[in-house]
Every structure is written in structure tokens, then in C-alpha cells.
Chain A
Amino acid sequence: MESKPKGKPEDLGPDAVLLQPIVATRSSFYILTMVFLGFTSLSCFAYLYQLRWGLGVTGLNVPMYWGIYITNFVFFIGISHAGTLISAILRICHAEWRRSITRAAEVITVIVLFFGVGSIIVDLGRPDRLLNVLLYPNFRSPLLWDVCSVSVYLMASSIYLYLPLIPDIAILRDYGGKYTWLYRLLALGWSGSERQQRILNKAISVMAVLVIPIAVSVHTVVSWVFGMTVQPMWHSTIFGPYFVVGAIFSGIASLIIAMALIRRIYFLQEYFKDIHFSHLGTLLMVFALLWFYFTFAENLTTFYGHEPAHLQVFYSKLTGRFAPLFWTMVVTCFVIPAGLLFHRRIRTVRNTVIASFSVLIGMYLERYTIVVPTLSLPRVPSDTVFYTPTWVEISITLGFGATFIFLYMLFTKFFPIVSIWEVQEGRKVALREARERIEAYTPHPTAGDLGTLETAQD
């Protein structure tokens, strides 16, 4: 019953709609492009301006040496956990419902990583000396660990995105529309033969196993940039897991939002079913709880430790200057999502999406309230100075966001955002596999009546 995909869309049957975004482009796309690119060039200008006049054009000061650039860095890297990690986990534990969403996720990872790295470069006083990082690396510096782990992560997740793309690229190649040359190049002569299939699946599952530890390491190391200093409320052992959880948390949220948009714009209700959202929603709920647990533990320990230096930062968050941000974070990261997701009946697509937006805001605030308050209250006496981002910082941040979305859009214009072959494969093998699995763990599978399955089989 093996069937090689032929070069005609109609052969794809209903899945043909997945090629729609690629073959046909509505004018709205161009309008959006203009808008996004508008932001992009704004940020480019802002950055050149900063290069010319120095970081003095930001709101940074003594002792707040880091601001929203670093916040962005942590935030974007966090988002990057959307794809790879989630899809990998789902793949490994054969969650069947993953098939149509994995790619949407993986793309996020690869693209957003560039902005994570970008944020660091933008924050440098001397980007012209960036190469020094390679020329005179100091491996005791957590920042250098970041450089390593992030680049590995980037490579791994690119491959991990690419592998499952190959069969679909082949489809596009055979379909022979625009850019066939490009697809031919990228398809690596995919013919869909048994052998190729086997190799591909093997490779994918290997990568899936590989990327998980890498992903975890990345955000752990990011947390260590802070954790390895002796600064009050940075110097904390919980930061590793705390950051990872936060990362996945914001990852899922952004994935949900991405899916919602895609299904809206490209009419893919059939592929991103409510059930997908419901599942992801549950996942989000779980992480909301985890996040709360960590946040609570972190702050309670600080409070009990009662170390003056730590306490003043603690209070600046809970009752002081940063209280508004802190409590908004608690509401948006926990109260709202929990409220919207705790019960199946209210966990509608709409609410899940709302919850996700709220989580993204919350997680940004979390990153901010981790970076800034500590810096604002050093151990030695210092004047109370205030940090407010300037137009430069804000423009660059907006630009980054916009450019990310734009690139994501662009991707959907060149490649199917839903993995066609995996969906098809799903239709064919999913049930059988499922049955085998169930049989594998049901005692005396033949004794009882698993017939329903049988019948469903044909």
C-alpha cells in the first residue's frame, strides 16, 4: 500500500490546501510585509544611531548597566524553546496529535534564535570587536558558554527543522511551480523510497533525542549568566530549571498564538483542530503551575534567608518601585492562564489564545524584573537612579519582534507550515501503530475484545 507522492497537487487530495499559501499570495500579505519591514528599517536606523553616539542614547546608566536588550535576549531564547523542545518531546512519546503542529513549532525556534543572538550584539559597546570572542575566548565566562550552547542549539534545531522538510520540499519540486530550482536543490533528490524513508525517520528520531538536552542546556546556561554572579537575587541555584520552565512556558504560548494565526489566515481549521489547542492549553496550564511553584519557592527562600542585600531587591519587587511590574507578571503568568485553562469547558480556543498572549506579556515582565531590580540595588551605597528605555531601545525591540513575524510569514510562503507527509503518514500508520502499542501493554490482548480497533482498521 506504499504510494510515492506524484507531482500533482490533486494527488495530495484534501492536503492540497497546504500548498495554497505557497502558490497563491493575497495582497494582504504585501501590505503586512510593508508594515513589518517598516519596523525593521526603523530598528536598523535606531541601531546605526546607537553605533554613532554610543550606548549613551539608551536609558542605561550606573548601576543599571543592562536593560531591555538583555531582557529581549533572555526572552527570545526562551521563545525558542517552543519548537524544537516541544515537538521533540511529542515525537519521542509518539503523541499522534503532534503531526500537524510540529513544523509550525520548529520554525519558531530557528528564526527566533537569531534575534536572541542579535539582542546580545545590539547590547555591546563595541560590536566592531565581536570577533574578540573567538580570538581571545575566556571559557570561565558564562557568556562564552552561551555563545557555544546557543550556536550548537541553532545548528541542531536547523537540522531538526530541515530533515522533516525534505519530503515536502520534494513534493513542491515535483509540483513544479515557482523556484523549482531551489526546491530541487534542497530536496537532495528525495524519491521517497523505502530506504530513504527509513534513514529519514531514523535521523529524525536521533535528532529528536539530541536536541532535548541541548535545548535544556541552552536556557540553563542563559540563567547562569546571572546565577554565576554574586549579585543579590541573581546568585540562585534555582535559576537553571526556573529559566527552562519559563522558556518552555513562553514557548508553548507563542506556539499557540502562531497556530491560531495560521489557521485563521490560511483556513487550516482541519489541521489545527480545537483538540490541538485544548492539548496545548493543558500543557500551558501545567507550566503555569510549575512557573508559579518556582517563583514562589524562589521568593520565599529569599525572604526567609533575610540577607539584607537580597531583601532590598526582594522588597523593591514585592512592594517597592518594581511592584507594579512584578504583580502584573504574577497576574499575567499565573492568575489569568490558570483562570482560563483550569477546566475543559472554558478551555476554548479563544481563551487559550488569550491566555497565551497574557503569558507572553508576563514572561517578558519576568525577564525584566529579573534583570533590572538587582542592578538597581547594588550592595554599596548608591543613589536611586531610574531606568526607562529610550526610543532607540524601544524601536530596536519592536523591530526585532516585527522582523521575526515577517520572516515567519515568509517561511510559510516557501514551505508548507504543516508537514504534509507526516499528516499523510499519520492517516496510514497511526492507527496500526497505536493498536500495536496498546496491545503491547494490555494484558491478554486477544482474550478481551479489541475488535473495535480491528473494524476501524479497514
Chain B
Amino acid sequence: MAFKVNRRDFLRFTAGGAAGLAASGVSLQGISTLNAAITAGERDVPRGPEAWSLSVCSLCPGGCGLRVRTIGKRAVKIQGNPLHPVSHGGLCPRGLAGLQLLYHPDRLVTPLENVGSRSNPEWREVSWEEAIAKVVARLQALKDHGQAHTLVFLSGRSGRLRQRLLRRFLQAYGSPNLLHAPTGLDSASRAVYLQQGMHEGLAYDLDRTRYLVSFGANLLEGWGSPVSTMRAFGRWRAAGGGQRAKFVQVDPRFSPTAARADEWIALRPGTEAALALGIAYVLITEGLHDAQFVEDHTFGFEDWRDGRGRMHMGFRSLVLREYRLNDVAALTQVPVETILRVAREFGGNRPALAIGGQVSSTLPGDPRAAMAVHSLNAMMGSLEVAGGALMRPELPGDSETRSGQGPTLPPSILQRDNSIFPEVDLTHLSQVIRSKSPYPVQALLTYGTDPVFSLPNGEELGEALQQVPFVVSFASFMDETAARADLILPDDSDLEKWQEAASPPTFPFLLQSISPPVIERVHNTRDTSEVILSVAEALGGNVASSLPESTVEGFLRAEADKILAGRSGYTFATQLEETWNRLLERSGWWAPTYSTADELWQEMKEKGGWWEPTYYYGEWGRVFRTSSHRFEFYSQRLAEYATRNREQVQAMGLDPDDDRFCLPHQVSLPTAPEGFPLLLIPVEVLPLMGGEGAELPYLQQIAGAHVFEHWESWLEMNPATAGQYGLQDRDQVWIESARGRARVRLRLYEGVRPGVVHLPLGYGREQGSEWGRRGVNPLKLIQTKPEPLTLLPQVSQTYVRVYRV
């Protein structure tokens, strides 16, 4: 792409130029040469039979429906599938750029084997048969030596059914280690785990909420399921459409999302919990909360006496005692009036939702903050109501393949009995590999994720990988992880393979998208699921029998059939039909357009998928899996943890008997270390989030629109701060943290909090396409020491210094 006049062109041109110069005056010849030179390369585009087919975007967890135009063998345009319940014909820029991914000149086009060393690889092309044989041999050997459990499969975004395939494969093979890349909802989900006892399915009925406070979740920059979120945003403000819902963004940075919100509350970073509890204070003191709901469905709001007769502090007392407005205002640096007003509005407009509670949803945040935020929902009775926080039910066939279940499998490599959560987060993987405990990792497969790039401590993992005897990547680009592998088995691109997607994060309704490949393979790549199937078959035995299907289509079909068992839901349909179906279902009727599995399958393929447009509220038993079978302001899971690990808790300087420990509360904030005065907060930009868009020119070109930046990462700083350090707009600066330093261009932006700087995520790849290898990766600067209690990296506590180059 780069337009460089290298010396050769230049010389050639000089010659030509001279000739032209000589000629042009006299001969027609010369003139035509000139014209040729001017008009050179005017291009016309191919033609052929036209067709439109459906597909699903998997460039983020959003799971939007695509409509793809093909001319002959070529896909020439991606558009939205109007029938798709998630996206209704809309797409985000990333999804639109899908074609650039498909036809990307730097795609991995054939299996590669690393014949060099891990540290400096040399790649040799191998045939698929050869490649698969190698994988099989390795896995077989492991299995034979009873080491099957030492196989780790790292999976990123991929559809529900493909996940089932992986799980089933691993279970049959004998490994509990299907690990997942972090995603945006992790922090909130952890809170839900502690307060509702549920892991997955957290959803928000954004469409119908009337008042929304977002604590740092960047709704419009790709939060959750970006398109459906943006759609909801549009609905709130629909011209003439009833009363406009209010959207309050709590964020130290005036992010593009904050700019589009109805109100932006600039708070001191890391004090979300305090602010949330401050709001709770107002709700309680002014009696604005939903007393009935609290009474009926929650635990630990009032002080309470346990079985052994000990009194415990409840949420109310905690808030009233420790979160008086003035203290909160002082801590959060949000004016009392603001807190008061917002709290009253929040209490006065139902349904009202509070979401987020993290630093950056991509980077693990403190669950206690998320708990504080989620508690607001409980106070307002915004759980399990239209416009509130919901828990998406499961699709028939989901639970039978929960990881960790099934026959005698050893515990997963990330399970810790001294951890609050059943599994510690992925940043611990490198440590596990190095320490070989609980057991060594003999083989590691990565699919659809690039942990070496995207984990806060990715570099560490990169090193650690050296000690893993066998590493395979299914990446479709030479990413940081793939570059450290022994084998790369490039996956097909979305449009080349069967696509399927589950309900995206935060989407309340059960949904399953399915679509056949849109075009033939462009290169010698293969659908990873297909590869797994062949491996399973080759491994034989129970592995083979657990996956009898020989093709991906076969497998998907078999899984899709299970939907029928649920006896509910419909294939995608027009808005009109949907409202009608909802009506029927509410009154207990179910009149699907299909009756047999074949019809269901046909219709799913034609319309893009199946979904259950009705949500059944108030299934308390399903959504409260806590020991109290209620929503717990006072998390008994934490209580139980504290009793289990008393000395460990004491070691952290906490009192296991202190009730605060189990209640949402504001943790103390770190102070800037000597010589590192500025707080670094990485932010996401919609186009590049997750890092994968970086190689796509379309996205690089728009990534920094709010500061007119493109193709490079930039450091956002408040002009006042800059003045303080004698820096100017566009300066080349070093940003240095305890971990290292990086060179980047400074952009002054009034939206940045004084004393804070922001670096966009998604930049700074070191491998693969030259278009992706631009800018710096903020995670390389970030503080990753695990916070003792949650064992999550303290990403929000990175301090830096910035100085001119």
C-alpha cells in the first residue's frame, strides 16, 4: 500500500522523464507517453452473476447479522441483515470492514510449521494432512502417557455451538482446560457471581430502561454488544417516541460516549464504589428505593443475626454510617448537588439501571465496585423487570457441556481453592506455566485469541510459552501468539465458513444465529472446528465417538436440532410478526412456523437464525443461585471464603470478621509513587478494540476521529497538565511507567482529567501485517501485580511520567 518512490522507480522515471522531455515537444509519440503517464492505471471492476446471502459477524462478541453481496466468486459488499434481532440491519465500522479482513494481503493462507526455534522462528509451508497428523501424534502421545489433562485450549470469541464442540472434544480427550480470553463484562459478571451466585448470562434490557447510569462502561465505544447497544441508544432518543430515557455516563474521561450522554459525571478514577454508595445513601435517606422488592427478594440489606446468634451489619447501616454525602463528594470529587440530583432522578424514574463499575471493561476491575453498582439495581427493584438487569436463560444443550463437569476430570489449571472465584483470571497462566503447578502445560492451543498481545501481562506469557513443548495457533493472522507457536493452522475467514453465534453479551434474549459459508475459500485455510473434528476422528476411541459428525455442518445441525426440545421461540422474522408472536407467547401460545427439525434447520439458514423473543420475568429460583436464594447485598460467598481462608485474609491486613468484607465498599486508593505523577488509563476506541482491527485500513483511518488522529496511537492529556510539564500538542513524548517506556505522539484534549493520561488500546502489535504494527500497546506499561484479595491485576493503578523526546 505504501506509496514509496524507491531509487529504482526514480531512476527509471528519470530516464522516462528525460525521454518524455525530449519527445514531448516534437513528436505525438511523446505526448501519448505523457498522457499514459497521467492516466496510468485507471481501473475498472469485475462483473458476474449477483447474489445476496446471510452471515454473522464474529469480529467481536456482538454477533450482528450480515447480508453479503457476491458477484461471481467474490464478496463485494457487507451489509446488515434487517431480520436479525441483535442488529436489525445495522453494523459497526468493524463489521463493515470485514471484507478487508477476508481479502487482506497479509492473511495466513496455508498451514505453517516452525522449523526454527521459538525465539526466532522459521516458517515452512506444510499440507493440512501433514499438519493435522503432527497435532494428532502429539495429542495421542500425551493421552498415552496419561497427560491428557495437561492440554490447554485457549479460546477467544466464537459461537456457542463451536464452544460446545471444543468442550466435548476436550472432555472426551480428558482435559478440563478450556480457557477464555477476557471480555468486557467480566467485572460485572464477577459481581453478579458474588451477589446472585451466577456466572453467565448477565443482560440488560436497555431498550426499555428509562434511566441509565453507566459507571465507566463505554456504551457507545463497543460495550457489550455494540450494535444492539447503539440501537437502544437510538431508541431512547427516537424523535417523538414517548419519554426520552436519560443516560448518565460516569467516567473520569470525557469519552465520545460521555459526549453523547445526557449527563457526564467526571469523577476521580477508582471511586465508582463510593459514588454508587453515595447514591444509595440518598435513596435510603429519602426512601426512594423499592422497599417491597428489597423485602421480598434480597438478603443483607438490614442488619441481621446469623445462626450462631451473631449480629451482622447490613447494607443500610454500612451506607448510612460510612457514605454520607459530604464524605463521598470529598472522595469522588463530585459535587454534593450532583450526587443528590442524580440519585433523586435515579429513584424517580423507573425502570432505572446502573451498569459497569470497572476501570475499563476490557481490563479486570474491582468486583467490589461492580457490587456497589449492581446493588443499586437491587435497591430499585430493577432485577428481573422490563428495562432492568436480567439473567439470560440457557439454551437446551448448554449445561450438559459446562466445563469442569462430565467424567472424572482433574481441576482446571486456573482453579484455586484459595480464590474467591472458581477460576483465577487468565493473567495467571504465565505463572502457572513457569511454576508447573498445579501441573505442567504440555500442549497449548489458541483459537480466535491473541493472549500474548491482549493480556495485560502478555509479554510474560510470551516468555512462558517457551517452556510449553507444543504450541498451536489457529489464528488467521500472524499475531503475537502465533509467532511463538510450533504450528499455525489458519482458520477460515468469517464469510468462508459456517457462521454461528449465541446471544451476545448483555443481550437479554436467547438466540442462535446460523449461516452457511458465503463464498468459497480464497486461500488454503480450514475451519478450525473442521480441524478439531478430523483430529478427534484420528484420535479414535471415546474422543471420536463423542464427536460422531464428520462435518461442521453435520455438527451444527445436530446441535441446532436440540432447540426444538425447548418448545419455544421462533426463527428470525419481521418486527411485525415478532410483536404478534410475543403477544401469543405471553398468553401461553406457541405457534412456530416450523414443526420438524428439518424445517427449523431450513428456516434458520434462510432467515439467519432462531431466537426466543420473550423473556420470562421473576423466575427467582433460576436467577438467584445464592445460599439465601435471594439477591445478596451481603455476599455469603465472600463470608464463606473469609471463614475458609482466615489467615490469608488477615495476611492482607483485613479482618475476616469485619462485615464490610462481605459488603460492597470503596477500597482505598493507591497514591502516585515518587517520580510517576500521572495516572495512565488505557481506553478503547470502537474500531480497534480487541486489537484485531488494527490491520484493517478502514479502521485505522477512523480510529482517532475525536482528536483527528489516524494510523498511530496518541497520548491524550489535558492542556493544563501539559502546560505543567512544558509539553505541547503533537510533541513526540516518552511515556514511562515502572514497567517500561514507549514513544508516542501527544495530543491535547480538554476531555482528559488533569493528572490523568489515556492511551488507546488495540495498537502496538509487533507481528503480522505492517498496517497493524503501528503505535504502542498500553498494556506493556500497565501495572499487573495481582491484587491480593481478588487476584486480579491492578490495572487501574498504573502511574507514569511523560517527557519530551
Contact = CB atoms under 8 A, between A and B. Distances in A.
The reply to whether A and B meet directly (CB within 8 Å) is yes
Interface of A: 41, 44-45, 48-49, 51-53, 56, 126-128, 382-383
B13 interface: yes
10 contacts: A45-B14, A45-B21, A48-B17, A48-B34, A48-B37, A49-B13, A49-B17, A52-B13, A52-B37, A56-B3
B39 interface: yes
Contacts of A383: 708
A51 B21 contact: no
A45 B17 contact: yes
A49 B5 CA distance: 11
A222 to B, nearest CB: 27
B34 A44 contact: no
Given A45-B21, A51-B34, A128 B13 contact: no
B373 to A, nearest CB: 35
A41 B17 contact: no
Given A52-B16, A126-B38, 16 more contacts: A44-B21, A45-B17, A45-B18, A45-B21, A48-B20, A48-B34, A49-B17, A51-B34, A51-B37, A51-B38, A52-B13, A52-B17, A52-B37, A52-B40, A128-B35, A382-B708
Contacts of A127: 38
A53 B39 contact: no
Interface residues of B, number: 16
A49 B35 CA distance: 13
Contacts of B13: 49, 52
| Among all A-B residue pairs, the 4 with the closest Cβ atoms | A383-B708, A48-B17, A52-B37, A128-B38
Contacts of B38: 51-52, 126-128
A383 B704 CA distance: 12
Contacts of A382: 708
Contacts of A52: 13, 16-17, 37-38, 40
Nearest to B18: A45
Interface string B702-733: 00000010000000000000000000000000
Nearest to B35: A128
Contacts of A48: 17, 20-21, 34, 37
A49 B708 CA distance: 31
A391 to B, nearest CB: 12
Contacts of B37: 48, 51-52
Contacts of A53: 5
A45 B40 CA distance: 18
A244 to B, nearest CB: 36
A246 B39 CA distance: 39
- The winner among B3, B5, B38 for most chain A CB atoms within 10 A is B38
User: Secondary structure of the B side of the interface?
Assistant: helix
Nearest to B21: A44
Nearest to A44: B21
A395 to B, nearest CB: 13
Interface in B1-21: 3, 5, 13-14, 16-18, 20-21
- The winner among A48, A56, A383 for most chain B CB atoms within 10 A is A48
Nearest to A53: B5
User: Secondary structure of the A side of the interface?
Assistant: helix
Contacts of B20: 48
A398 B329 CA distance: 66
A253 to B, nearest CB: 33
Contacts of B17: 45, 48-49, 52
B364 to A, nearest CB: 35
- The winner among A41, A53, A126, A382 for most chain B CB atoms within 10 A is A53
Contacts of B5: 53
Nearest to B17: A48
Nearest to B5: A53
B436 to A, nearest CB: 53
Contacts of B14: 45
A49 B38 CA distance: 10
Given A51-B34, A53-B5, A128 B21 contact: no
A56 B2 CA distance: 13
Interface string B46-74: 00000000000000000000000000000
Given A49-B13, A128-B39, A41 B34 contact: no
B34 A128 contact: yes
A41 B34 CA distance: 16
A57 to B, nearest CB: 8
A128 B37 CA distance: 10
Contacts of A126: 38
A82 B379 CA distance: 86
Nearest to B14: A45
Nearest to B37: A52
Nearest to A383: B708
Contacts of B16: 52
A105 B2 CA distance: 50
Nearest to B729: A384
A125 B21 CA distance: 19
A128 B40 CA distance: 12
A44 B30 CA distance: 14
A361 to B, nearest CB: 30
B550 to A, nearest CB: 54
B21 to A, nearest CB: 5
A49 B14 CA distance: 8
Contacts of B21: 41, 44-45, 48
A52 B3 CA distance: 13
A126 B16 CA distance: 19
A119 to B, nearest CB: 18
B217 to A, nearest CB: 28
Contacts of B35: 128
Contacts of B34: 48, 51, 128
Nearest to A382: B708
A361 B799 CA distance: 53
B730 to A, nearest CB: 9
B122 to A, nearest CB: 37
A48 B17 CA distance: 6
Contacts of B18: 45
B131 to A, nearest CB: 44
Nearest to B709: A383
Nearest to B20: A48
B16 to A, nearest CB: 8
A169 B622 CA distance: 110
A388 to B, nearest CB: 15
Nearest to B19: A48
B695 to A, nearest CB: 24
Contacts of A49: 13, 17
Nearest to A52: B37
Contacts of B708: 382-383
A225 B35 CA distance: 28
A294 B526 CA distance: 74
A127 B16 CA distance: 19
A51 B34 CA distance: 8
Nearest to B40: A52
B741 to A, nearest CB: 27
A230 to B, nearest CB: 24
A49 B656 CA distance: 78
Contacts of A44: 21
A450 to B, nearest CB: 62
- The winner among A45, A51, A52, A382 for most chain B CB atoms within 10 A is A52
A53 B14 CA distance: 12
B125 to A, nearest CB: 37
A56 B4 CA distance: 12
A52 B16 CA distance: 10
Nearest to A385: B708
A126 B39 CA distance: 9
A357 to B, nearest CB: 33
A48 to B, nearest CB: 4
Contacts of A41: 21
